[in-house]
Chain A
Amino acid sequence: MSKFSVDKMGENLLRKFAGHTSRRSLLSKLGMTLVAAPVFPLLPVSRAEAAKPDRSPEAKTAFARNAQTKDDTKCSYWRYCAIDGSLCSCCGGAVNACPAGSEPSPVSWVGTCINPDDGKAYLIAYRDCCGKPSCGQCGCDNTDRETQLYVPMQNNNVIWCFGTSSMEYHCSTAVLVGAAE
């Protein structure tokens, strides 16, 4: 697995976004947002890269101390440290795939979660699946490093169904983007 690169992530996200929408003005506005507000969404990554992280139990959040890697239909699954919504893995989808008939959002909010098996931090993209009514199964609301709307890519209340044909929220996936350290 390659080391996480902010630039690459931004490029990939924008490429995918451009491929899914004709709203070009949005791209320029998003680009401007990223340029003008460099503090997001890079902060958790920047902090993670700034120093060798302490992975002792004393340094872990309550979620990280209790996280597991076996069952991705449980809220305690390690990738779900900042997820809010129905787990797609309980809705006919998977941890990284939307259920049939729903559409993944090309953009997402992000979390930095620790895998308890290797003790490493990974960047997780929480991609909403859109276009169907709310799945309603396995509702989770985890809040590690979750902030408010002025840091939107770290806020888990926003319905991230931008650039999709419908903005109806169905469920949330947790796609592993890369190592954050």
Chain B
Amino acid sequence: MRVPPRLFSGSLLRMALLASVVSMAGGAVSAVAQEAAKVLEAEEATTLKIEPPQAQWGYIRGGFGSGGTRIFDGVTGKMKGLVETSKSSDMAIDPAGKFYYVSESIWTKGDRGTRQDMVSVYDTTDMKLLAEITMPGRLIIGGRKQNFIISDDGKTGFVYNFDPASSVNVIDLVKRKFVTDIDLPGCASLMPNPGVGFSALCSDGSIATVAVNGSKSSVTRSASFFAASVDPIFDNYTYDQSKAEAVMVSYTGLVYQVKVSATPTVSAPWSLQVAAGLRPGDTKPLDVNWFPGGTQPMALNRKTGLLYVLMHIGEFWSQKQAGTEVWEIDVAAKKVLGRHPLEKPAVNIEVTQSAEPLLFLSEDEGGNARVIDAKTWESKHEIKRAGGGIINTFFPR
């Protein structure tokens, strides 16, 4: 039978066309695949490293009950990384910039089980856990800079313990071993004391100085210089390693300068408000004035000697109230150089020790942070959900 030529020819044509389309499609797919292979290469998941601590960085803790310390570059406002600080832990930075130390308490079963207290040691560049230094206990509170301090040479850590009796754990950070626990009744809020050990503020208004020699120690006390229950000094004071000097502020706004040594000396206090041309703060009710307040109400630039204090209008016993102004104070001259209104009230303040100092502030609401140029007072960055907690900066040596 003859196949009708039209049908035959039509069928052949279809087959030829199909072959051609398939061929073309195959070529196109191949081209796309080749193109795709060129652009979208298979990836390996990796982990980045981070620079060691930088002077322009701010370390912002999470608020009460939350963990993590976010690191922000004050120049760019960008997040650089996160230090693994557990809930209510305390963080300190190795003065040489090699380690982050976290004094923390964790339990074997989440919030119950066996309690474990330790100083965890992290490398500052790969952020990996290097060691856990077991210790007998620590105060669980968070939000305090002076509960975990490191000696100026970076070799010894001091951890405040309260269970509910006061003591201090001495940690050898070189051997990464707990050394001893020193009873320190009625005292807290630690400061390093170079070549001696550490000092602390006490409920009788004195400074206790603890000379530490290995596992042995001896405690001496200064004369009483402040009224601990009448006009308390804020726990979160500043300590200047370069001068071995602490600058402290009381609830009424008195500034105390403590020269740290085997026998610390305290300068005569002076009033922040008087330094600003106002009347001094008073403890009397209904005496409305400017008062210092917040959780971390003050910061000190070690190079310029300028102190920054969060101030608010109110009555006495408003010590936790957020600051609506930052007062810029020349400590040596005992003079307020400027009063700088804040866009939003803040509870924590810290200043970088970089060549161009930047102020980091934790605002009162939303866990937001703000970065302000400490020379021009220009707001550089508003960082949402930064953490809202206390702030550390790194002091390069």
Binding site for B on A (CB under 8 A): 23, 26, 29-30, 32-33, 35-37, 39-40, 43-44, 58-63, 65, 107, 131, 133-134, 141, 143-152, 154, 157-162, 165-169
With an 8 Å Cβ cutoff, the count of chain B residues facing the other chain is 46
Q: Say how far A145's CB is from chain B's closest CB, in angstroms.
A: 7
Query: Which partner residue on chain A sits nearest B88 by CB separation?
Result: A159
The proximity string for B residues 137-171 relative to A, scoring 1 for CB distances below 8 Å and 0 otherwise, is 00111011001000000000000101111110000
Residues of the B chain whose Cβ atoms lie less than 8 Å from the Cβ of A30: 164-165
A65 to B166, CA, bound (A): 35
Query: Which partner residue on chain A sits nearest B186 by CB separation?
Result: A37
Tell me whether B234 is interfacial, beta carbon within 8 Å. Answer: yes
Given contacts A148-B189, A167-B115, contact A58 B320 (CB under 8 A): no
Interchain CB contact under 8 A, B319 and A159: no
Query: Which partner residue on chain B sits nearest A35 by CB separation?
Result: B185
* Chain A contact surface mostly: loop
Residues of the A chain whose Cβ atoms lie less than 8 Å from the Cβ of B361: none
Interchain CB contact under 8 A, A33 and B285: no
Query: Which partner residue on chain A sits nearest B64 by CB separation?
Result: A134
Query: Which partner residue on chain A sits nearest B181 by CB separation?
Result: A29
Q: Say how far A101's CB is from chain B's closest CB, in angstroms.
A: 12
Tell me whether B204 is interfacial, beta carbon within 8 Å. Answer: yes
Residues of the B chain whose Cβ atoms lie less than 8 Å from the Cβ of A151: 203, 228-229, 232
A141 to B234, CA, bound (A): 17
Tell me whether B45 is interfacial, beta carbon within 8 Å. Answer: no
Residues of the B chain whose Cβ atoms lie less than 8 Å from the Cβ of A157: 141, 143-144
A12 to B153, CA, bound (A): 46
Q: Which of B140, B164, B186 has the most CB of A within 10 A?
A: B164
A149 to B162, CA, bound (A): 10
A87 to B285, CA, bound (A): 26
Tell me whether B350 is interfacial, beta carbon within 8 Å. Answer: no
Interchain CB contact under 8 A, B285 and A149: no
Q: Say how far B152's CB is from chain A's closest CB, in angstroms.
A: 22
29 contacting pairs across A/B (C-beta < 8 A) = A29-B167, A29-B183, A32-B165, A32-B185, A36-B185, A37-B185, A37-B186, A61-B315, A61-B316, A62-B318, A107-B164, A146-B320, A148-B232, A148-B235, A149-B147, A149-B160, A149-B162, A149-B188, A149-B189, A150-B189, A150-B202, A152-B164, A157-B141, A157-B143, A158-B139, A158-B141, A159-B140, A159-B141, A168-B111
Tell me whether B91 is interfacial, beta carbon within 8 Å. Answer: no
Nearest 10 CB-CB pairings of A with B: A37-B186, A29-B165, A36-B185, A149-B188, A168-B111, A43-B229, A33-B185, A147-B232, A150-B188, A33-B165
Binding site for A on B (CB under 8 A): 65, 88, 105, 107, 111-112, 115, 139-141, 143-144, 147, 160, 162-167, 183, 185-189, 200-204, 228-229, 232-235, 285-286, 314-320
A66 to B112, CA, bound (A): 40
Residues of the B chain whose Cβ atoms lie less than 8 Å from the Cβ of A59: 285
Residues of the A chain whose Cβ atoms lie less than 8 Å from the Cβ of B285: 58-62, 65
A145 to B234, CA, bound (A): 13
Interchain CB contact under 8 A, B315 and A33: no
A133 to B65, CA, bound (A): 9
Q: Say how far A87's CB is from chain B's closest CB, in angstroms.
A: 16
A141 to B167, CA, bound (A): 27
Interchain CB contact under 8 A, B317 and A63: yes
Interchain CB contact under 8 A, B320 and A143: yes
Residues of the B chain whose Cβ atoms lie less than 8 Å from the Cβ of A134: 65
A14 to B164, CA, bound (A): 11
